[in-house]
Amino acid sequence: MSESSPHTQARPSGTPAVAEEAARWSERLREAGADPELRAEFEAWRGDDPERAQAFERAEAAWTAARSAATDPRILELRNQVLARAAENSEPRTAWARWAAAAAAVTICVLAGFGLAHLASPSPDDAPVIELAMAEDPGLPDYVTQVGERLSAALPDGTALTLNTASQARLDFTAEERRVYLLQGQAFFDVAHDAARPFVVIAGERRVTALGTAFEVRLDADDLSVTLVEGRVTVEPVEPLVPDRSDAGELASASVRAQLQPGERFTQTAEAEPEVTAVDARRLTSWLDGVIIFEDDTLGEAVAEMNRYAQRPILIADEELAALRLSGAFGAGRSSEFVEALSEYFPEVRVQSTEQAILLTARG
């Protein structure tokens, strides 16, 4: 974006150039904050011209609409469609997917005045314009799913990515490294082999490095797990380590480096030291098929997992009920079927449904 003032070049009002200038002013004023000099320049540009004033109001309204609609499922679907199209035609390059993810945001801004019902997927010819318009936002997630959604996509190197419910990921591919930031949630990677360019996932304070590997990474707040299905991965701290840690125990814990074998899982929680355990990796990744499998899990654990996929949460009113144990396979996002099965398996559980939640109580 040019540092010169938008009003330094005279343009006739009533043309698209006025809308472009208004949009530029809207962006500059947001970025600058309380800058009296810039505000004075803006007021001089707007003056008493009603067309410029209206164009600026429309630019502000479009930005507000875009922000409020950013997580609308239709917007996310549009963004993911653009990503899938771009992945089919793109060569690996730095931050390739940012412009594709930005396509949805740009389309929102363009169409905000027309309402969400008029949204349509942009054509591939729109991509270069989108890239130039949005290249300044390096933190925008490239892949996003809402609660209950699951997304599969091919990355530009041929790696297959599957993103689980309520998850976000961002790509940063370079000539030296293929890097994915898992910002939240759960992702499965079937990595395309490329010995010259390591495939790295950054999640929380951990760096997971793989070569020709299938593995899952899950990040829930401060809890992290890495499950290896095949191949090999290493899990180590993101460098550099936090410099202000003075406690030797914390530093030693943070510096744990693990190399996983198929069927092993690395876990790190706020309550316990990092550990590697043998697991049934296929069961833990059954969500790829839309299935959640429990094996002698507590009802509290099962409900917490089912709630990850549910718009209407399940609540347990009694701690004794939460300690019940169960096994079984259930469809992700099918809370009604889950609680129906509970009422059959556990006669002591009573199910009460409201518009806001499903409540599990003990029968009196």
Q: Which residue has the tokens 């495939």?
A: 199
- Which pLDDT score, from 0 to 100, does residue 134 have? 30
Stretches where the chain sits below pLDDT 50 are 1-14, 70-71, 79, 82-138, 240-254
- Which pLDDT score, from 0 to 100, does residue 255 have? 54
**Helix residue ranges, H only, the chain:** 16-32, 36-46, 50-68, 73-89, 96-111, 127-134, 248-254, 281-284, 299-307, 319-322, 335-345
- Which pLDDT score, from 0 to 100, does residue 4 have? 38
In terms of C-beta distances under 8 Å and separation of at least 24 residues, what long-range contacts does 104-107 make, across chains too?
A: 104/75, 104/76, 104/78, 104/79, 105/66, 105/70, 105/79, 105/134, 105/140, 106/130, 106/133, 106/134, 107/78
Distance CA 107, CA 121 (A): 9
Report the DSSP pairing between strands 214-220 and 275-278. unpaired
Q: Is the dihedral of CA 139, 71, 204, 87 positive or negative?
A: negative
Structure-block tokens of residue 16? 């698209």
- Which pLDDT score, from 0 to 100, does residue 59 have? 79
Structure-block tokens of residue 197? 């360019």
| Cβ atoms of 349 and 314 closer than 8 Å | no
Structure-block tokens of residue 64? 């507000």
Report the DSSP pairing between strands 206-210 and 160-163. unpaired
| Cβ atoms of 205 and 348 closer than 8 Å | no
User: Interhelix angle for 36-46 vs 16-32, to 10°?
Assistant: 160
- Which pLDDT score, from 0 to 100, does residue 111 have? 34
Distance CA 265, CA 284 (A): 10
Secondary structure letter of residue 114 according to DSSP: G
Please report the DSSP string for 251-319 in residue order.
HHHHT--EEE-TTEEEEE-SSS--EEEE--HHHHTGGGGTEEEEEEEEHHHHHHHHHTT-SS-EEE--H
- Which pLDDT score, from 0 to 100, does residue 220 have? 93
- Which pLDDT score, from 0 to 100, does residue 72 have? 52
What domains, with CATH codes, occur in the chain? 11-68 (no CATH), 173-283 (2.60.120.1440), 290-362 (3.55.50.30)
Largest separation between any pair of C-alpha atoms in the chain: 79
- Which pLDDT score, from 0 to 100, does residue 363 have? 83
